[in-house]
Amino acid sequence: MEKPVSLKKIVIFSGAIIAFLIGSGFATGQEVLQYFAAYGYWGVGGAILTLLLLVYVCSSFLIVGQRENFQKGNDIYKYYCGEKLGTCFDYFSTFFCFLSFIVMIGGAAATLNQHYNLPPIVGGLVIAILALITVLAGLNNLVDIIGKIGPTIVIISIFLGVFSLIKNYGNLHPDIIIPALESVESSSKLVKASSSWYLAAFSYVGFCMLWLAGFLASLGKKASSPLEARLGGIFGGIFFSVAVIIVALGLLATIEITAGTQIPMLYLANDVHSAFSSIFAIIILAGIYTTAVPLLWNVSSRFTEEKTSKFKLLTLALVVIGLVTGLWVPFDKLVNVIYVLNGYFGGILLLIMFVRTLKGFFVNPNRNPQFKTK
């Protein structure tokens, strides 16, 4: 018999998922623009596909983490893929998490540079220092902090998407505007994550999985029951994906202007009021922070034990390397190259999970990684 479900824990789990996925890509709008809005109305279909896949992935990771009680969160790769392939995914995802941390640094640098005209190093330093302090404080504090910030940022982003959609509804002609943008050979040319909307959605969920797997497997240990873990994953996946759909529509209504910009969401915020865009620039930093922290924690905790001197030294070294690297490459290029390539690798893990789930249904239900109980 399962233990009583804690609504507070479900909210915290959902909030942690949302906060982790926000990052510099979603909060700035660059990720939503490249993966969804750039495909017109088909991109909305991609966002709906993303919703279904994320609900499956998040709930599965949390349930397996709750049940198996892994020593390290990244052991979940061996659970799904076996010893050899699982080890490969383990090291690759760790490396990808670090690359994604670099993207967060780049996003922070681009945000303050675009809106406040500050040198890129300012935004990079802010996120680097805050991430360092939070990770050194430990996982419990990390979850409490990001679980509360994440939903707030998503609500504001949804507001901006709705406002933009209502105000610019008359400009919603992607079938005309997008082909025109694709033919422009300049800095304003529309950047796409893939050649098709469904491959973009597949890649998007893939890179999200490489972020989430180890983190949610560790977080799942805090759930009192599989049902509690499942509900946290379901609501987290749904809430985040709905925000993606709404923001994508808002960007689609302004895509003639936002295409080619480093921080598209700042344009939507400025459309509400110039003062609000200044406030939203800080909100974007908060969104970047909520993702940078668990990404950094994933890497440090993979190789060292929390709160040890080795953990502190490794975390500091990673922050310094990430800061230096993240200030070199333009933010939109970081998103397009790092996320897209790694997304397809994560998609392989998604296919493996599907196969294992289907085997559980049709061969031996008790082995199903999502529904098996102790």
> For residue range 259-303, what is the model confidence (pLDDT) as tens digits?
878 788 888 888 888 888 888 888 888 888 878 888 898 899 889
d(CA 360, CA 157): 38
d(CA 302, CA 307): 13
* 49 φ/ψ angles, rounded to the nearest 5 degrees: -60, -40
Structure tokens at 17: 């998922």
pLDDT given at position 71: 85
Q: Which residues of the chain have pLDDT under 50?
A: 186-187, 369, 371-374
**DSSP line for 77-116:** HHHHH-HHHHHHHHHHHHHHHHHHHHHHHHHHHHHHHHHH
Structure tokens at 93: 């995802």
Give CA separation, 170 vs 159, 166, 248, 252, in Å: 19, 9, 16, 11
Q: How many C-beta neighbours within 10 Å does residue 48 have?
A: 15
d(CA 3, CA 374): 13
Residues 6+ apart with CB under 8 A from 161: 243, 246, 247, 248, 249, 250, 251, 268
- The residue count for the chain: 374
Structure tokens at 134: 């939070």
Q: What pTM value is reported for the model?
A: 0.81
- CA quadruple 133, 239, 326, 342: dihedral positive or negative? positive
pLDDT given at position 110: 87
* 158 φ/ψ angles, rounded to the nearest 5 degrees: -60, -40
80: nearest Cα among 210, 230, 242, 203: 210
pLDDT given at position 259: 83
**DSSP line for 128-196:** HHHHHHHHHH-HHHHHHHHHHHHHHHHHHHHHHHHHHHHHTGGG--HHHHHHHHHT--STTSPP-SSSS
pLDDT given at position 211: 82
Give CA separation, 78 vs 81, 85, 90, 124, in Å: 5, 7, 8, 35
Tokens 């400025």 label which residue? 270
pLDDT tens, 328-356?
877 877 888 888 878 888 899 999 999 98
d(CA 26, CA 240): 10
d(CA 135, CA 157): 26
pLDDT given at position 145: 61
- H helix intervals, the chain: 7-28, 30-35, 41-68, 76-81, 83-116, 120-137, 139-167, 174-182, 197-220, 226-252, 255-258, 264-272, 274-303, 309-326, 331-334, 340-362
Half-sphere exposure of 339 (CA within 13 A, CB side): 30
Tokens 């109980």 label which residue? 373
pLDDT given at position 263: 83
pLDDT given at position 63: 94
**Which residue segments constitute the domains of the chain, with CATH numbers given?**
7-367 (1.20.1740.10)
d(CA 176, CA 272): 26
